[in-house]
Structure 1
């Protein structure tokens, strides 16, 4: 009985992973929601609306770096449209530039984590990181 339950649980987890991989539009939307939440937290900290927290700053930049590493793989040819996607055709027309933008974002986000030891360092690093977001959205996202 326990063995059957463990096998069933394993199958459910495996199926969930396959379904997540089979819907890259949903996966990239969820990843960007995480980036958006981190950005809201970072903006509040940068504006002084909440106290500077070095651990939280590290988490924000880790979310950015992890998303930057993951996102380029979530744009296969079969996920150009559908699922309320705002991905611009330029992503597939300029794969080199698109991947380079995420590589830059990943590198700068990783470096920003070490620069964010105090509020001034955080503000500077956060501003640079979010410029990457804006640049990519300008070039590779359809405005709705």
Structure 2
């Protein structure tokens, strides 16, 4: 695979993670009480996280060699591809469950989102390099 293809894989996964981040950014202020609960906005964000999660194709987005370049992806991804793939699969399942829950209250949103955000945190801790 060429360097350009690696750059594309890096760009694709960064764009997808940014999109997930935007959706998380719509939910977190509701959970923190900084914004009023909005069932439609919460569901739209959960559905977008689910749609984005479904687009994560580990083989395509994290090909061998794409740990080099402008990326925060940790070499641990390629050292533990099986563990990383399991983490992605769990995120996909939990994102789908959260969207399917269609929370209609703040407590429901907190419950639905809790596992999704736990996946983000644990995966980033294990498989993402810290920015300096």
TM-score interval, smaller chain: 0.7 to 0.9
Alignment map for 1:1-144 (pairs within 5 Å): 23-71=8-56, 72=58, 73-82=60-69, 84-115=70-101, 116-144=103-131
Q: Which runs of 5+ in 2 are unaligned?
A: none
Report which stretch shifted further, 108-117 or 19-28: 19-28
Going by fraction, where is helix more abundant, 1 or 2? 1
Shift of 1:43: 0.5
The two structures, once aligned, show a CA RMSD in angstroms of 2.0
Would the aligned equivalents of 2:6 and 2:63 in 1 still touch at CA under 8 Å?
Answer: no
In 2, distance between residues paired with 1:77 and 1:87? 12
User: Which structure carries more relative contact order (alpha carbon 8 Å, separation 6+)?
Assistant: 2
Aligned residue-pair number: 125
Shift of 1:48: 2.2
Would the aligned equivalents of 2:37 and 2:106 in 1 still touch at CA under 8 Å?
Answer: yes
If the length of structure 1 is used for normalisation, what is the TM-score?
0.78
Structure number with greater Rg is: 1
Q: Which runs of 5+ in 1 are unaligned?
A: 1-18
* Runs ≥4 residues deviating over 3 A: 19-22
